[in-house]
Amino acid sequence: MSYKEIEEVDVILLWGSNAREAHPIFFHHLMSGLDNGARMYAVDPRRTSSATFADVWLGLNLGSDIAMSNTVAREIIHQGLVNQNFIDHSTTGFDTYAESVEPFTLEVGAELTGVPAEAIAEMARAYATADKAQILWTLGITEHHNGVDNVFALCNLALLTGHVGRWGSGLVPLRGQNNVQGGGDMGALPNKFPGFQNITDPAAQAKFRTAYGVDLPDEDGLHLTLMFEAMDRGEITSAYVIGENPADSEADIEFARATLRGLDTLVVQDIFMTRTAELADVVLPASVGWVESDGTVTSSERRVQRVRAAVSPPGEAKHDQDIIGELARRLGYDWGRPDSIELWDELRSLSPLHAGMSYQRLDAKGLQWPCPSLEHPGTPFLHSWLWDDDLGGHPPAPFTVVEAAGPKEELSVEFPMRLTTGRALDSFNTGVQSGGFDSPIRYGDALDINPADAASLDLLDGERVLVSSARGSVEMPIRFQPEIPRGLTFTTFHFPEFVDINVLTSDAWDKKSGTAEFKAASIRIDKIEAPAAENHSEVDHHG
Amino acid sequence: MSKESIVTVSIDGKMVSVAAGATLLDACRQAGVDTPTLCYADNLTAANACRVCVVEVEGSRTLVPSCSRSAEDAMVVQTDSERVRHSRKMVLEFLGSGVDLSQADDLAGWIDYYGSEPDRYGPDRAMIKEEVRIQDSLYIRDYDKCVLCYKCVSACGEDAQHSFAIAVAGRGFDARIRTEFDVRLPDSACVYCGNCVAVCPTNALQFKTEFDLRKMGEWKPTEQAVTRTVCSYCGVGCNLEVHVQDDTIVKVTSPDDHDVTSGHLCIKGRFGWSYVQPGQSAAEEGD
Amino acid sequence: MADLHLSEDLASEAEVSAIDSAIAELGLDPAVVQETPRLVRGGNRRRASRRHGLLPALHALQRESGWISPGGLNHISKVLQVPPAEAYGVASFYELFRVDSPPDHDGNVVHVCVDAACQIAGSAKTIASLEAQGVAVHRSPCLGQCERPVAQFIQGRQRPDSVEADGVENGSIDGVLWDLPQKHDPSLKLLARVGRIDPTSLEAYVGSGGYRALARAFTLGASKVVEEVLSSGLAGRGGAAFPTGIKWQAVAAESGQKYVVANADESEPGTFKDRTLMENDPFALVEALTIAGFATGATKGWIYVRGEYPLAVQRLQNAIDAARDAGFVGQGIARSSIEFDIEIRRGAGAYICGEETALFNSLEGFRGEPRQKPPFPTTHGLFARPTAINNPETLLNVLSIVLDGGEAYAASGTEGSSGTKLFCLSGNVVRPGIYEVEFGPTLGEVLELAGGVVGNLRAILLGGAAGSFVGPDMLDLPLTMEATRDAGLSLGSGVIMAFNDEVDLGAVVTRIAEFFRNESCGQCVPCRVGSLRQHELLESSLSSSRGEEPLGIVSGSAPALLLEEMDRVMKDASICGLGHTASTAVRSAIELGLMRSSR
């Protein structure tokens, strides 16, 4: 997809994304779409600042996304609103899928999601009958123990209606970091070479072996969550961490920190002395990628763009590629000192997706991959082959039957409330970058809670409380939020030095992606100390 | 392009063809005619307020604003007639008579060119006199320099940010850009994207970094290098122009013509760079 | 969580109730509705469709609290989802809304007119005496009661606004019939019912021939009505004299939702004709607007009445309600299948809102700033839809055009000016008031209708503050559009204000300049700054010389030349008619030597 597409769309399903705060400039494009007449349905347990722009907010139960999408699917099928030609021509597995969603009547869906049936039916109709419709999501979909299934569930809706592979219609996952897409492009995945070529593909193996002049592993590696488990079992004893702060960012943080401490050797290469770096045996100071180095990053619309050095790095900090090259030299491999263009041109020679992207062409506005040749203009959206007569030689797109499982962690008497997490506009992840400027709109991490829930716990706005999950406890202030549904709480995670929120988050993770269930934990809130007696009686009768 | 979608107009006797829907300003640019603008920006809806870009169109009773008037086939346009020169001179003169244009770099040449004399309205004339508003460590607002071009309002509102933290309040010469009841900016809907600052043509809105450096006499635009790069935060891929003076970032903007940002950023892209140079920021606390 | 950011100020219960009921009266529910704790409806479309509730909501708050309180504004912002900075920007645009601080009195404000007719009748004394009594006084631009200076208008707190001179109780719609100077003239057309027929009674209206024109319009059919209006030669009576039929034809040719609007924001100093019509023959405007809707294919009509005309609003609302009850307004009007409804909007004190595009913005809930034209209202009018907007006097002419045919109408008046015209005579005349004249008589003849001038005639302000001063040498000027145009003048809204040689015309002209300075919306530079500098220059030139040896401003002098330079840029480069005409009267006064102070 391209951001521009949403300016021309008719219906937007914003699902598990608070793009207003997490992707503000993408949201500008979205708002243009709304100004141009698009209808938006926001599916989110919270009425986020993004959801306030929606025509309809559907506040589903935390983790009931598949129940919702299956209900939508059944409604579309039963109302005869499927795109039968598209299904027949471009997909497989419809019958089995249709059977799997059959139990999800509007009544059942309403029961499972907590959202009134009419609203689900309305969204289903709006999506199915739109000329151009998009489903957008971010971590509200993926950071669940069944995040991959959540994604499949949304893809199924696009396949039912043909809202994919056309300009304006599509599935839009928004990337959370400036180069998380580029990391994937470059092969920073356990199962891919650069350009998303499979490690297990013999042809790719041969190509990279020849190019690099070394033997390469021919089976998939471990993703982060599995690495931590392997460290825990003692199978991995050393780690080299570049530009990541797992000692603050991992779910179930105490486990992660203990694991890192248990390593024989921990090398951290970073621009900050992060909490992870503090645990390291060796810290390699790196220059800042986007403003002290030359190179490229890839955005959510697959646009590869140039970053350029504008200021010099401080002290002994070095460019990442020079540190790695230096390390290689000491390990016996002298790569010389290739500059960023040479490195990039090597990538282009190996990754067909990027082959046409010379630095010169990237210079002005970047290019969207695939861009296989110097003449190729780049690709504004993917999967257009779904509409080709011969499907461009691809097999048809399969419907995927998914199980409507809720959060791994059930509510219990001991932990009766839900906790979910998200970003604030002026902050970013663990705050190591965004903490550097003085934002007038920053309020710190606080636990948003429905005032009625707070009243039943005898709590006042702003009061510091003890929040506990099965994994640990943290102290933090609460913030009254009348619009958050009862039983749900929310916090940002930008100030781990003050509120170590990932002490609480779930240790469940998705076996298919390795992503942890940051978005759904079960918690308890305890009062730290009783307020003054006169306040007590006042609050009491609300409970 | 089909024939109907092209219109041909005469600009100072020179025939130029532009796409239907193009403005007279576009046509002037195509004809190589330099036109002063103030409230117009390529990345905002034309406000059509300042009237400094007026041109004379044959058959039109009044002059027309080139920024917001569509070119029509066979229009005959004069951009340097006595009427046009007079109106432009007077508009600039009126502006200069009421506000401080000393940092409106783009206007200085035009004021000279048209021979505007703001001081001929006498020393007792009404001028805008307000305290500089310093209410946080990110921007300042100096309304003595405000020409009421509406750009900040558009950027804060429906042309970009949709926060609507500021609007024009009051009427006539007493009209000002205001938050509701003039509440402090941190108490308003402002989310500090800085898009208002980026579009301000007269430096009435300034980044605090620039304001502080100017106060110290250390603001040296001619010694600044501007490097284009990509924001380090979320995955949208906003292009940044990093303005560097003495190996230090002094401000961040975004190119108007970039498809992703159209020149607009969020608070993180605009101000989230301080970590690169801890302790070097010149910003002082606001009141 | 909500993107709308409100301060912690809360509205009082009374404010909430006043605002909520004002919005409910419009048939609107809040822009955001929580249907269940898990389902909220909101979004652009709902918000945009309710924005026009802003002006009525601000009126309700002002009336309740005597000002636009932060808490009250928060409540309005929340209910209508209008960002508070925008709502504040709108509120602060209008004279009738107080935004700076709560009233330091009981909240009732007496607005006293300080414009020409009242100025020369002693408004300064009136203000001084009211203030001495402890009354909260607001110096107001022309209140549209020039026939009965010094004009006053009482803005009520927690009670309806009123005009004492109307002679009716607060909030009451019945009352005295207006005393018309030409009452017994059988040739009156537009004024035929004024002062003779009970303006509150639909029966009386129908009994005097009312609603015959609508019936006739249905018989003719919409396109024939437009043809009749075209052939009548009717030109707009608001000042610009644009052919009404051409406007209607253009709107009729458009498709989709269309509107007709009666521009009853009569604010041109010296003008009070539309008030007279609306207060005394409100059904006629309702019927005429209905015909306009039928002819152009608009299903909705709006009447935007200036805020200082409470009686007109009351009588129009009564007329609309009565007409709706009787089936003349609403679904299937007059037993046809036609749908047509009418809503009234009150202005809130802004001369500029008489400019048609500013009026649209104001009605839509935005600041009353004019829009760039083109595009014109006939394609992009109210709510960006095709709109026919006419002045009430213009609309009332349509009734006889439909009844008697366009040809017959065109036969009256002169070649270039068909029909009759209402003139507003005020100032130093014997019988100030509204006079209806078939186009043709001269300025002197019309003045004679009003009993002639009191004292020695020095100058006449023709066309209002946006018009020009003429001297006694122009008494032979025929008051037709063609003759005035040829003389470089304009009939404007029909203002004829006479000044004798005892009037301090320097002060009058300076006040006119101040009027434009105050009423400029501030959007465009030529008008915003030009109107200010013009007023400053007049003030300093006259006041510095107001000692023993007054100099004034004479043609060709340095200040006169500078004023001329300013006039040129305002005429050439302002967005709208306000700027274009803000210096016309001043220049004409200098040319006539009126600024050469006689004392």
CATH number at residue A155: 3.40.228.10
Above pLDDT 70, what percent of chain C? 96
For chain C, first and last CA: distance in Å?
67
CA atoms within 13 A on the CB side of C101: 3
Span A188-215, average pLDDT: 94
For residues A490 and A520, give the distance between their C-alpha atoms in angstroms, rounded to a whole number: 10
For residues A475 and A432, give the distance between their C-alpha atoms in angstroms, rounded to a whole number: 21
Asked if residue B171 has pLDDT above 60, the reply is yes
Question: Is residue A182 within 8 Å of residue A304, measured between CB atoms?
Answer: yes
A418-451 pLDDT, tens digit each: 999 999 898 888 888 888 888 999 888 899 999 9
Asked if residue A223 has pLDDT above 70, the reply is yes
Which of B127, B143, B172 is the last residue before a domain boundary? B127
Q: What is the pLDDT of residue C542?
A: 82
Residue B207 domain-assigned (yes or no): yes
Asked if residue C289 has pLDDT above 70, the reply is yes
Beta carbons of C573 and B87 less than 8 Å apart: yes
A505-543 pLDDT, tens digit each: 888 888 888 888 889 999 999 999 755 544 443 333 332
Q: Residue B200 is part of which domain span? A: 133-276
Which of A106, A140, A173 is the last residue before a domain boundary? A173
Q: What is the pLDDT of residue A44?
A: 97
Q: Could you tell me which residue, A249 or A323, shows the higher pLDDT?
A: A323
Q: Chain B residue closest to A31 (CA)?
A: B162
Asked if residue B283 has pLDDT above 80, the reply is no
Question: Chain A within 8 Å of C43 (Cβ-Cβ)?
Answer: yes
Closest partner residue to C88 (CB to CB) among B62, B83, B178 is B178
Q: What is the mean pLDDT of chain A?
A: 92
For residues B37 and B50, give the distance between their C-alpha atoms in angstroms, rounded to a whole number: 8
B222-280 pLDDT, tens digit each: 999 999 999 999 999 999 999 999 999 999 999 999 999 999 999 999 999 999 987 65
Helices assigned H by DSSP within A240-288: 246-249, 253-261, 275-278
Q: What is the pLDDT of residue A361?
A: 96
A106-139 pLDDT, tens digit each: 999 999 999 999 999 999 999 999 999 999 999 9
For residues C370 and A344, give the distance between their C-alpha atoms in angstroms, rounded to a whole number: 55
Residue A242 domain-assigned (yes or no): yes
Span C369-375, average pLDDT: 94
Question: Is residue A65 within 8 Å of residue A213, measured between CB atoms?
Answer: no
Q: What is the pLDDT of residue C86?
A: 97
Residues B146 and B269 in one domain: yes
State which amino acid sits at residue B101.
Answer: L
- For helices C273-280 and C310-325, angle between their N-to-C axes, nearest 10 degrees: 40
Shortest alpha-carbon distance between residue B195 and chain A (Å): 11
User: Which backbone phi and psi does B49 adopt, to 5 degrees?
Assistant: -115, -35
Beta carbons of C37 and A486 less than 8 Å apart: yes
Shortest alpha-carbon distance between residue B250 and chain A (Å): 11
Other CB atoms within 10 A of residue C360 CB: 28
Q: Give 3-state DSSP helix, strand, coil % of chain C, rounded to 5.
A: 45, 15, 40
CA atoms within 13 A on the CB side of A406: 12
Chains touching chain A through at least 3 C-beta pairs below 8 angstroms are B, C
For residues C576 and A381, give the distance between their C-alpha atoms in angstroms, rounded to a whole number: 47
Which of B127, B155, B176 is the last residue before a domain boundary? B127
Six-digit token string for C407: 């040809």
For residues A385 and B265, give the distance between their C-alpha atoms in angstroms, rounded to a whole number: 35
Q: Which of C545, C559, C547 is nearest to C589 (CA)?
A: C559
C-alpha R_g of chain C: 24
Span C354-370, average pLDDT: 98
**Chain B interface mutation, best of A36, A291, A298, highest count of B Cβ atoms under 10 Å:** A291
Residue A119 domain-assigned (yes or no): yes
What CATH number labels C109-166?
3.40.30.10
Residue A345 domain-assigned (yes or no): yes
Beta carbons of A56 and C39 less than 8 Å apart: yes
β pairing state of B176-178 and B167-169: antiparallel
Question: Is residue A405 within 8 Å of residue A146, measured between CB atoms?
Answer: yes
C191-219 pLDDT, tens digit each: 999 988 999 999 999 999 999 999 999 99
Question: Chain C within 8 Å of A114 (Cβ-Cβ)?
Answer: yes
Beta carbons of A175 and B235 less than 8 Å apart: yes
B83-126 pLDDT, tens digit each: 999 999 999 999 999 999 999 988 999 999 999 999 999 999 99
Asked if residue A306 has pLDDT above 90, the reply is yes
Shortest alpha-carbon distance between residue C97 and chain A (Å): 30
What is the CA A371 to chain-centroid distance, rounded? Answer: 25
Q: Taken in order A456, A457, A461, A467, is the CA torsion positive or negative?
A: negative
Sheet containing A238-242: give its strands across.
A238-242, A265-270, A282-285
Six-digit token string for A288: 């800042």
For residues A18 and A46, give the distance between their C-alpha atoms in angstroms, rounded to a whole number: 9
Helices and strands of chain C, counted as H and E runs: 24, 14
Residues A167 and A230 in one domain: no
Query: What is the location of CATH 3.40.50.11540 in chain C?
Result: 202-411
Which residues of chain C does B50 touch, with a Cβ-Cβ cutoff of 8 Å? 524-525
Which of B70, B102, B127 is the last residue before a domain boundary? B127
Q: What is the pLDDT of residue A535?
A: 42
Q: Grade residue B3 by pLDDT with cuts at 50, 70 and 90.
A: low
Number of structural domains chain B divides into: 2
**Chain C interface mutation, best of B48, B56, B90, B92, highest count of C Cβ atoms under 10 Å:** B90
Q: Grade residue C597 by pLDDT with cuts at 50, 70 and 90.
A: low
Q: What is the CATH number of the domain that holds B39?
A: 3.10.20.740
Span B34-43, average pLDDT: 95
Query: Which CA distances in Å does A480 have to A1, A448, B169, C38, C90?
Result: 38, 6, 33, 17, 32
Asked if residue B4 has pLDDT above 90, the reply is no
C321-348 pLDDT, tens digit each: 999 999 999 988 878 888 999 999 999 9
Question: Is residue A289 within 8 Å of residue A433, measured between CB atoms?
Answer: no
State which amino acid sits at residue C489.
Answer: L
The size of the A-C interface in CB pairs under 8 A is: 68
Residue A54 domain-assigned (yes or no): yes
For residues A395 and A376, give the distance between their C-alpha atoms in angstroms, rounded to a whole number: 25
Q: What is the mean pLDDT of chain B?
A: 94
**Partners of B250 in the beta sheet?**
none
Q: What is the pLDDT of residue C184?
A: 78
Which residues of chain A does B273 touch, with a Cβ-Cβ cutoff of 8 Å? 291, 436-437
Which of A173, A191, A217 is the last residue before a domain boundary? A173
Residues B214 and B161 in one domain: yes
C379-401 pLDDT, tens digit each: 999 999 999 999 999 999 999 99
Residue A403 domain-assigned (yes or no): no
Residue B285 domain-assigned (yes or no): no
Residue B282 domain-assigned (yes or no): no
Beta carbons of C526 and B94 less than 8 Å apart: yes
Residue B203 domain-assigned (yes or no): yes
Q: What is the pLDDT of residue C174?
A: 61
Q: Grade residue C245 by pLDDT with cuts at 50, 70 and 90.
A: very high
- For helices C222-232 and C244-253, angle between their N-to-C axes, nearest 10 degrees: 150
Q: Chain A residue closest to C33 (CA)?
A: A56
What CATH number labels C420-500?
3.10.20.600
Q: Residue A41 is part of which domain span? A: 3-173
Residues A192 and A317 in one domain: yes
For residues C481 and C350, give the distance between their C-alpha atoms in angstroms, rounded to a whole number: 27
DSSP E strands, C380-441: 387-390, 420-427, 433-438
Beta carbons of B172 and C532 less than 8 Å apart: yes
Residue B287 domain-assigned (yes or no): no
Q: What is the pLDDT of residue B178?
A: 97
Span A231-255, average pLDDT: 91
Q: Which of A143, A163, A175 is nearest to A13 (CA)?
A: A163
Is the bond leading into C374 cis (omega within 30 degrees of zero)?
Answer: yes
Shortest alpha-carbon distance between residue B282 and chain A (Å): 12
Sheet containing A295-298: give its strands across.
A295-298, A303-307, A367-368
Q: Chain A residue closest to C48 (CA)?
A: A35
Residues B111 and B19 in one domain: yes
Question: Is residue C234 within 8 Å of residue C399, measured between CB atoms?
Answer: no
Q: Which of B137, B147, B142 is nearest to B111 (CA)?
A: B147
Question: Is residue C427 within 8 Å of residue C231, measured between CB atoms?
Answer: no
For residues C313 and C410, give the distance between their C-alpha atoms in angstroms, rounded to a whole number: 32
Residue with tokens 């282009």: A348
Query: What is the location of CATH 3.40.30.10 in chain C?
Result: 109-166
C458-502 pLDDT, tens digit each: 999 999 999 999 999 999 999 999 999 999 999 999 999 999 999
What CATH number labels C505-591?
1.20.1440.230
Q: What is the CATH number of the domain that holds B255?
A: 3.30.70.20
- Please spell the DSSP secondary structure of C489-523, one letter per residue: ---TTTEEEEEETTS-HHHHHHHHHHHHHHH--S-
Helices and strands of chain B, counted as H and E runs: 7, 13
Residue B63 domain-assigned (yes or no): yes
Q: What is the pLDDT of residue C1?
A: 36
In CATH terms, the fold of domain C202-411 is Rossmann fold (3.40.50)
Residues A246 and A124 in one domain: no
Query: Which CA distances in Å does C146 have to A296, C118, C496, C561?
Result: 74, 7, 11, 33
Asked if residue C2 has pLDDT above 60, the reply is no
Shortest alpha-carbon distance between residue C141 and chain A (Å): 39
Residues B267 and B143 in one domain: yes
Residue A470 domain-assigned (yes or no): yes
Closest partner residue to B126 (CB to CB) among C5, C523, C532 is C532
Three-class SS state of A344: helix
Other CB atoms within 10 A of residue B168 CB: 25
Residue B155 domain-assigned (yes or no): yes
β pairing state of B6-11 and B76-78: parallel
Residues B142 and B252 in one domain: yes
Residue A68 domain-assigned (yes or no): yes
Shortest alpha-carbon distance between residue C231 and chain A (Å): 41
Q: Could you tell me which residue, B139 or A502, shows the higher pLDDT?
A: B139
Query: Which CA distances in Å does A301 have to A6, A131, B161?
Result: 12, 22, 21
Residues A142 and A233 in one domain: no
Which residues of chain B does A22 touch, with a Cβ-Cβ cutoff of 8 Å? 234
Number of structural domains chain A divides into: 3
Chain B neighbours among C 316-335 (CB < 8 Å)? none
Q: Which of B163, B51, A353, A519 is nearest to C370 (CA)?
A: B51
Q: Grade residue C171 by pLDDT with cuts at 50, 70 and 90.
A: low
Query: What is the location of CATH 3.10.20.600 in chain C?
Result: 420-500
Q: What is the pLDDT of residue C182?
A: 86
Q: What is the pLDDT of residue A517?
A: 87
Residue B286 domain-assigned (yes or no): no
Query: Which CA distances in Å does C66 have to B44, C8, C88, C362?
Result: 38, 20, 15, 21
Asked if residue C131 has pLDDT above 60, the reply is yes
For residues C479 and C494, give the distance between their C-alpha atoms in angstroms, rounded to a whole number: 9
